[in-house]
Amino acid sequence: MLRARVHRLICVVGFFAAPCAFRPEGFAAEIDPATGTMATKRVLNWETDANKSYVIPALEIPVFLVALNLYDREVYGREVYGSTLGTTSDHAPTKSWQFDEDPFNINQFSHPYLGATMHGIARSSGLSFWEALVYSNAGSYAWEVAGERGPPSINDMITTSQAGSLLGESLFRMASLVLEHGGEHPGFWREMGAAILMPPLGFNRLAYGRRFKTVFPSHDPATFWQLRLGASADAKVSDNSATSTVKRQEFILDFSMAYGLPGQPGYTYDRPLDYFQFEFAALSSAHTHNWVENILCRGLLWGKSYGAGDNAAGVAGVYGSYDFISPQIFRVSSTAVSVGTTAQLLLSRHVTLQGSLLTGVGFGGAGTQHFKGERDYHYGITPQGLVALRLIFGERAMFDLTAREYYISGTGSDDKRGTETVFRGNAGIVVRVYGRNALGIQYVASHRDAHYKAFPNKRQTVSTFSLTYTFLSDTRFGAIGSHQ
């Protein structure tokens, strides 16, 4: 009896003195401010899934959607958002689903961000990427059936759920990285930065105390980001062979990040988006219908790493992508699945080549900004490809070249009258001047070739040069290897 009591006493003391050895998994000890006594609190463990919650996002997402609907009713009117139980029951049958006619920016940008928010609610509750994707799909379905008076939209289910989850995972990873770099107790500004990138993450960290304070473990990916500020020169615009120079100078804000670059010792690609590339650009000019010029993200959903000695490393597999591109006179967007590879090759002691090659198929839309008589934008199954190359010269300079092409067919759409081919290419060079500060020049060209049976063929091109100041995340431009 005495031995048993002594043993229990040792266990109690050990529970608080050596938590790693004695404390149950997923719990932490802290002083309760109300009682002044030691208490155990449930804490999320990302590696074992202990104390993640399926219930919290199942409650938060409907509350978020109801709040969004009430806001839209007040701001945009009940004609569209005054849904009732009657309209909800009418929308449930699959025969009521169709392709909607909402503005391009609403369907291809606002809806993905809505999906990213629902994905973030689930991820910040401890759920995996695939589990969060299910919640995003369920939330999208609920909005389509009950959030609006009009018929539910097929295209919104794609952009809100699938594109939204890809965008949401990228934002969640970047926000988590901001917190992780702050150590065990990230400061106010890191908490604020993470909340701006992914608001649901900031909300759940604040609302649930210690439970969701554990930061998602990145597993130490190799990353490279650059923030660019600049101004573009006059744009050269060609519309059906009529070429003109548009006097339109624009200020540019551009951010891009590569996460999980190949070549990092010990890093693995076990989780969706352990590698991703994120790009965002905004323009200052008021002529455009949307201040977002592009938002692009592609990430590895499933893949395996490979290598060839010390000079070559890469990863190959299945990628998911969400693209939104809106130059001055037309726009294109796509949600796709592709196969391809991302790799790094050390060409010499001070020269590194990085790149990606992808080919796949998605569902996309494209259209002109101003052309009466032609449908505003055209949906369809969209085969597409991407080539991205980066040549790095030690710690001095970097040359970038990226080419994308989309073929928006009539297949899978309610409008089979035409097709569009859209090409987007950019080339730039950045030269480091001092520390992490650099100067650069960039050329961007976008071309649209549209063919419709009832309308004349349309060929449009817009191209611009821009000068930029660039702030780099490191002086090696993201090159991985001991030669640097």
Its pTM stands at 0.88
Question: Is 90 exceeded by the pLDDT of residue 32?
Answer: no
In this structure, what is the dihedral angle of CA atoms 397, 403, 404, 405, given to the nearest 10 degrees?
Answer: 170
The residue among 16 and 376 whose pLDDT is bigger is 376
**Which residues, 6+ apart, have CB-to-CB distance to 448 below 8 Å?**
330, 332, 366, 368, 420, 421, 422, 458, 459, 460, 461
Model confidence over 158-210: pLDDT tens digits? Answer: 999 999 999 999 999 999 999 999 988 899 999 999 999 999 999 999 999 89
Percent of the chain with pLDDT over 90: 60
Measure CA 54 to chain center: 23
Share of the chain above pLDDT 70, in %: 85
CA 295 to chain centre: 8
Which candidate, 137, 195, 143, places its Cα nearest to that of 163? 137
- What is the predicted pLDDT for the residue at 94? 66
pLDDT digits (tens, 9 = 90+) for 248-294: 668 889 999 999 999 999 999 999 999 999 999 988 764 555 688 89
Is residue 473's pLDDT more than 80? yes
Task: Report which of residues 137 and 349 the model is more confident about.
Answer: 137
Residue 192: its H or E element: helix 188-197
Say what the pLDDT of residue 333 is.
94
Please write the tens of the pLDDT for every residue from 49-59: 999 999 999 99
At residue 35, does pLDDT exceed 60?
no
Shortest CA distance to 301 belongs to which of 336, 257, 267? 336
The mean pLDDT of 144-150, rounded to a whole number, is 87
pLDDT given for residue 50 in this prediction: 93
Domain boundaries, the chain: 2-41, 55-212, 223-472
Annotation: CATH topology of 223-472: Porin (2.40.160)
pLDDT of residue 20: 35
